[in-house]
Amino acid sequence: MKTLTLLAGATVLAAGFSAPAFAQVEIAAGADATGVSRINEEIIDVEEAVQDDFERSEDRARFGRPDSREGTFGSVALGYTGRTGNIENQDFNLAGRLSHNQGPFQQSVGILLEYGEDDDGDTDVKETSVIYDANYYFNDRFYAFALGRLTTDGLADEFDVLEEDGEDEYRDLDGRLKRDALLAFGPGYRVINTDTTAWRVQAGVGVRYTQTVDTVDNDGNLVAVGDRIDSDTSTSYIVSSRFYHRFSDTMFITNDTDFLTSDANDVATNELGLNFKMSNALATRVSYSTEYVSDREIRTDNTLGLSLVYGF
């Protein structure tokens, strides 16, 4: 039985804790018309969601430089779906990543384009995202990082909303981000780096630029169409922590914490995860995630997750 590795790194831990991989099932002819294919796709979605949850407990950079491949490499993926008949819409996505590693310096750029139309033929998704990630490793403990992100929402300020959809839809645009860009950099340090415990922290300073749709003023009145984009550039600060501890060959705990502050808002996330192998065929992960965003009406969201994999 193939296994899903739960521990990453060039140590014996990589082989000490694993869960069964999901088998690929071939669906027979006739499955599409009978509805078997649809249910099979939903089964795959559940399997992938559980596997993704396990992979969130992995930290490829836990014990040091995560990727030993040198040079330039990358990949591009494109997807398109067009539907006609009872439902008429289309979806398009394009994703790509380009990486370059040279000695202690590793960097990558990723791009995601998303476009979609609803059943009326109106565009309901028009987004572009670009990310940048870089690390320079001075030694086994000390490194420098850089993080960048740019997202644009082409539908954030659709000017025909007020005329076609009414006042309520126009008000709903208030606070929607048309552009959100962030570039941050700083040092990182591995405070503890042993076979059983790994803890690294990093902190940085950056610049955040936002364009926010403003359709309602402080008194609740509608803002004129031509005056409804607010731009803001502010200094931002980010602090992150990644903690791992192995209690035994069958149990380990992780805690990932991030905090970002800027004039736009404050964002804090924390995920505590407990992973354990109950047998060679059974693995379980329990996680508790908290997300805090300062400018939301309900600022804190909490999520309890349970993932279990059993192979036989």
Letter for the amino acid at 308? L
Q: How far apart are CA 266 and CA 208, in angstroms?
A: 12
Q: Number of folded domains in the chain?
A: 1
pTM above 0.85, yes or no: no
Structural domain span for residue 303? 140-310
Determine contact, residues 59/78, Cβ cutoff 8 Å: no
Phi, psi of 33 (to 5 degrees): -70, -30
For residue 30, being part of any structural domain is answered with no
pLDDT value of position 237: 94
Radius of gyration of the chain (CA): 23
For residue 254, being part of any structural domain is answered with yes
For residue 203, being part of any structural domain is answered with yes
Q: How far apart are CA 284 and CA 309, in angstroms?
A: 7
pLDDT value of position 43: 87
For residue 1, being part of any structural domain is answered with no
For residue 167, being part of any structural domain is answered with yes
For residue 25, being part of any structural domain is answered with no
DSSP letter for each residue of 195-257: SSEEEEEEEEEEEEEEEEE--B-TTSPBPPGGG-EEEEEEEEEEEEEEEEEEEETTEEEEEEE
pLDDT value of position 265: 84
pLDDT value of position 133: 94
Q: How far apart are CA 20 and CA 51, in angstroms?
A: 10
Q: How far apart are CA 122 and CA 254, in angstroms?
A: 44
For residue 182, being part of any structural domain is answered with yes
pLDDT value of position 16: 43
Q: Could you report the average pLDDT of every consecutive run of 10 residues in the chain (312 residues)?
A: 34 42 64 82 85 76 71 95 86 95 93 89 87 93 94 75 56 74 94 91 93 68 63 91 91 94 89 88 92 91 92 81
For residue 291, being part of any structural domain is answered with yes
